[in-house]
């Protein structure tokens, strides 16, 4: 059983996808929990699960390049090379988009396929599900 201590995420067993919806400021600590999901995925033994993060509720970012680089190195130690993890991030503004694209450039060398988009339909296609199953509306 996966239990998110921050009450922002849940594992959808039917879809086999972790769905997470953080709000507020994206800090290094919150990014650590989102990207690595230590408090939920690792403890539940689901390190290889695909993820959908709805970041449309993020209102500020307090992350530095070295924070993202460090997270990618930590994540690399958790993943098994035989299966790639798909991590999809729905964003609603350009500063979150830019930050996640920086993460994407770093993470993909560690076996994580990162997708960042303003379009939930595009991300749903990557995950092989209907957009309605992700429980999120397209941002304005």
**Chain segment 44-57, per-residue pLDDT in tens:** 666 677 889 999 99
Q: Which of 33-37, 76-80, 101-105 has the highest mean pLDDT?
A: 101-105
d(Cα 94, Cα 88) in Å, to the nearest integer?
16
Cβ contacts of 60 within 8 Å, gap of 6 or more:
24, 25, 26
Q: What's the pLDDT score for residue 140? A: 41
CATH architecture of 9-129: 2-Layer Sandwich (3.30)
Half-sphere exposure of 43 (CA within 13 A, CB side): 11
């Amino acid at each position: 059983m996966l239990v998110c201590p921050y009450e922002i995420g849940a594992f959808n067993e039917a879809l086999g996808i972790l769905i997470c919806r953080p709000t507020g400021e994206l800090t290094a600590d919150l990014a650590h929990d989102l990207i690595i999901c230590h408090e939920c995925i690792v403890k539940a033994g689901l390190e290889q699960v695909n993820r959908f993060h709805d970041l449309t509720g993020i209102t500020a970012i307090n992350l530095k390049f070295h924070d993202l680089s460090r997270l990618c190195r930590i994540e690399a130690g958790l993943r098994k090379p035989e299966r790639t993890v798909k991590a999809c991030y729905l964003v609603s503004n350009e500063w979150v988009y830019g930050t996640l694209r920086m993460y994407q450039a770093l993470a993909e060398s560690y076996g994580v396929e990162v997708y960042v988009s303003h379009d939930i339909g595009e991300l749903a296609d990557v995950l092989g599900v209907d957009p309605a199953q992700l429980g999120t509306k397209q941002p304005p």
